[in-house]
Amino acid sequence: MLVTGKEILDKAHKENYAVGAFNVNNMEILQAVIAAAEETQSPVIIQTSEGAIKYAGIDYLSAMVHLAAKKASVPVALHLDHGTTYETLIKCIRNGWTSVMFDGSHFPLPENIAKTKEIVKIAHACGVSVEAELGRLGGIEDNISVDEKDARLTSPDEAVEFVNGTGVDYLAIAIGTAHGKYKGEPKLDFERLQTIKGLLNMPIVLHGASGVPEDSIIKSTKLGVNKINIDTDVRVAFTEGVKSVVTTSDEFDPRKICGPARDNMKKVVMEKMIMFGCSGKA
């Protein structure tokens, strides 16, 4: 069933576990994530970036995820990941997304607050939940590229000011993770996470979680992370699945190439759900 992000994450916050938010760009990824959620009985957040919407089309994504959610035996939220323009945010709200992220993290604090507050007003009037980001992660996304030197960890005082000034439902914080593949092992600032969670007492979001060691992920969930974003690890699982066929045979039937990729992604997503502590929480 389709639910809001807030419904899923308020429960995770209260019961102290994290829910996976997986980036989806096509049917196979969506089916893999939903199958993993059903098999582990996990609530799940399907998220689409602006790049995914450009690639697949907002109407296709909306129709596919609404169908998948309707058929699913677990709660499913449809979330916009790293929304940067009012145009995309409003389009997603109008097309049935139940959660949107406004990423104004590159703006100075007062501007980020003013813009996010406006989005919250509109989204909440439509029954849609809102995520925002404070601080800067390293790494690359379609629309934003942040050098490691420009990455900035979230200030606890600014987090309080931001949440009070905007009314967001959950907050993404920077504690040392980065988008994409890591060069070395990421070192997370758990003390900062604990301080921010204690001050805010609301669902906290961790971006750039692919490649973060299992013990760090488990510690983060214990300290109050409730939404964990995964894209890269699923991309890798897809590609490995495709390669396992195309480098070992002359196969040219897309179903026989994408099928193993889908199975591989499902396996990785199930492992994440168990690691995050959300299996059995549907």
Residues that bind ligand G3H (CB under 6 A): 23, 49, 51-52, 81-82, 141-142, 179, 231
3-state secondary structure of 229: strand
Among residue numbers 225 through 244, which ones bind ligand 13P (CB under 6 A)? 229-233
3-state secondary structure of 163: helix
- What amino acid occupies position 4? T
Question: Distance between alpha carbon 62 and the CA centroid of its chain, in Å?
Answer: 17
- Minimum CB separation of residue 206 from ligand G3H in Å reads 12
209 binds, among ligand 13P, Zn ion, ligand G3H, none (CB under 5 to 8 A by kind): ligand 13P
The C-alpha atoms of residue 42 and residue 182 are separated, in whole angstroms, by 27
Cβ proximity to ligand 13P, 215 vs 253, nearer residue: 215
Cβ proximity to Zn ion, 257 vs 268, nearer residue: 268
β 139-140/145-146 pair status: antiparallel
Cβ proximity to ligand 13P, 98 vs 232, nearer residue: 232
- What amino acid occupies position 132? A
- Minimum CB separation of residue 47 from ligand G3H in Å reads 8
State the binding string over 146-185 for ligand 13P (x if CB under 6 A, else -): ---------------------------------xx-----
CA dihedral 109, 144, 102, 208 (to 10 degrees): -100
Alpha-carbon separation of residue 60 from 25, 47, 238 (angstroms): 10, 14, 20
**Residue 262 is a binding residue for ligand 13P (CB under 6 A):** no
**Residue 80 is a binding residue for ligand 13P (CB under 6 A):** no
Alpha-carbon separation of residue 41 from 38, 64, 127, 196, 230 (angstroms): 5, 20, 25, 30, 18
230 binds, among ligand 13P, Zn ion, ligand G3H, none (CB under 5 to 8 A by kind): ligand 13P
229 backbone dihedrals φ, ψ, rounded to 5°: -90, 125
Which position among 10, 59, 81, 253 bears the catalytic label?
Answer: 81
The C-alpha atoms of residue 149 and residue 127 are separated, in whole angstroms, by 38
- Minimum CB separation of residue 81 from ligand G3H in Å reads 6
Among residue numbers 202 through 241, which ones bind Zn ion (CB under 5 A)? 207
DSSP letter at 248 equals T
Cβ proximity to Zn ion, 207 vs 281, nearer residue: 207
Cβ proximity to ligand G3H, 141 vs 169, nearer residue: 141
**Residue 245 is a binding residue for ligand 13P (CB under 6 A):** no
Active site residue 81: yes
List residues with catalytic annotation: 81
